[in-house]
Structure 1
Amino acid sequence: MAAIKVTCQSGYYGRVDFTFISGNLGLDLAGTVGQRRGGRVDLLDNPEDLARWTVSAGLLDEPPAVRDDDLALAARLRESIYRLATAARTGSAYDEADRLLLNEAAGHAPAGVTLGPGGLERSGDLRAALSSTARAAAELLGGPHAALIRECEANPCTRLYIDASHRRTRRWCDMRGCGNRAKAAAFRARGQHQG
């Protein structure tokens, strides 16, 4: 699966890079937090970042209005999706509170998709974008592809993704990023042992 990288300008914080490499919008939302086990990096640091993410994700054509409480809701949904996907990956039971939060978000009307004079048009507010994201996560977690959820093996990456490789042996969230870094580190380590 090809990685899609979208660079956005974020007022005070500079550039924010969003990547859509997980194979599911819910996992891509969870992936807006990197390095979860140390040095945590949050790409949705402010309401403007979240508004831009909805457009970058292809959910809406225009950034929606986002308040601080909307950002907090999106962060709770993101963490619920991450925990649910981790439970699916490890074969654990889903946490009831996380499942209910996902279902509540999915229960809102999703983002609208219509064919306009110039092509596809996507519209709605933030709740609609989060509903579409939650629905994608629910379809993944409730279907057969839940067994294909993996966590990137590159340290310190903690990105979750769907392993759609032919043999189900994919080890990294993105070959061009984490995969290349891991292979380069292994090559350097072999060179040190031979020298």
Structure 2
Amino acid sequence: MDFAFVSGDPALDLTGTVGSRRDEPNDLLATPADLERWVAECDELPDRVAVDSATFESALALREALYRLALDRVLDRPFDPAGLEIVNEMAAGPVLTLRLSDAGLHRSGNLRAVLSHMARSGIALLADPRACLKECGRADCTRIYLDRSRGARRTWCGMDACGNRVKAAAYRARRRASTTTDTPVAPHGALPKRDQR
């Protein structure tokens, strides 16, 4: 399974590891190994962390709390108190260690530091009144993303996964509609005039 990092913020990308929250949710973080892989693939996090069952459960609790708070922001309603408590508590944890070298920035730390970093990232985003958060416009996708487009006109969380699907479905629908309107309808058993000889 491939992870998508299209939400514009690592905290939102974490919430997006549930592919859809309607009907039948598709959870991409089914095991601690999945979370280890997700952390390694996220650019803002360490290359490697170890995940045990307790920290795995903490990560899932943080993910769900961040999602509830982001959805509250999208729907312009007060923040969920239980979600606030989880996120604020996680943000008070240890910090990632940063090292600069000629090769660039290197981040290190354990999963508790990763979760603390994710909680802080979520807090900074959710507290920013100028941040434009939206839910993806594709019916089957519930990913929340940060819209930084000009005029805040972005519709989908990402073009690869959702935008292309919506555009392809619309194209197929137009093709079907034009095919049915272009085909002449003849009485039962008769050929259309242009085919009669």
Could you say which TM-score interval applies, normalised by the shorter chain?
0.7 to 0.9
Match of 1:153 in 2: 137
Q: Secondary structure at the match of 2:151?
A: coil
Residue 112 (str. 1) matches residue 93 (str. 2): no
Match of 2:63 in 1: 78
Cα distance between partner residues in 1 of 2:45 and 2:154 = 31
Q: Secondary structure at the match of 2:37?
A: helix
Q: Which of 58, 65, 68 in structure 1 is aligned with 2:43?
A: 58
Compared CA separation, residues 118 and 172, structure 1 to 2 (3 A): closer
Q: Which of 126, 133, 137 in structure 1 is aligned with 2:111?
A: 126
Compared CA separation, residues 26 and 60, structure 1 to 2 (3 A): closer
Q: CA deviation at 1:84?
A: 0.2
Residue 192 (str. 1) matches residue 167 (str. 2): no
Correspondence 1:129-140 to 2 at 5 A:
129-140=114-125
Letter in 2 for 1:87: D
> What is the CA deviation profile of residues 129-172 of structure 1, one whole-angstrom value per residue up to 9, with x for unaligned ones?
111111110000011244x1101111211111011110111111
Cα distance between partner residues in 2 of 1:67 and 1:57 = 19
Letter in 1 for 2:146: I
Cα distance between partner residues in 1 of 2:164 and 2:178 = 21
Q: CA deviation at 1:118?
A: 4.0
Cα distance between partner residues in 2 of 1:52 and 1:193 = 44
Matched residues, number: 179
Q: Secondary structure at the match of 1:134?
A: helix
Q: Secondary structure at the match of 1:40?
A: coil
Letter in 2 for 1:153: G
Indicate if the aligned counterparts of 2:5 and 2:13 stay in contact, CA closer than 8 A.
Answer: yes
Correspondence 1:22-41 to 2 at 5 A:
22-41=7-26
Match of 2:79 in 1: 94
Q: Secondary structure at the match of 1:144?
A: coil
TM-score normalized by the length of structure 2: 0.86
**Runs of 5+ consecutive residues of structure 2 not aligned to the other structure:** 180-197
Match of 2:185 in 1: none
Letter in 1 for 2:95: P
**Runs of 5+ consecutive residues of structure 1 not aligned to the other structure:** 1-15
Compared CA separation, residues 125 and 46, structure 1 to 2 (3 A): same
Letter in 2 for 1:144: P
> If each structure's strand is expressed as a fraction of its own residues, which one has the higher value?
1
Residue 165 (str. 1) matches residue 145 (str. 2): no
Q: Secondary structure at the match of 1:42?
A: coil
Letter in 2 for 1:104: E
Q: Which of 12, 24, 33 in structure 2 is aligned with 1:48?
A: 33
Q: CA deviation at 1:60?
A: 4.0
TM-score normalized by the length of structure 1: 0.87
Indicate if the aligned counterparts of 2:18 and 2:25 stay in contact, CA closer than 8 A.
Answer: yes
Compared CA separation, residues 60 and 91, structure 1 to 2 (3 A): closer
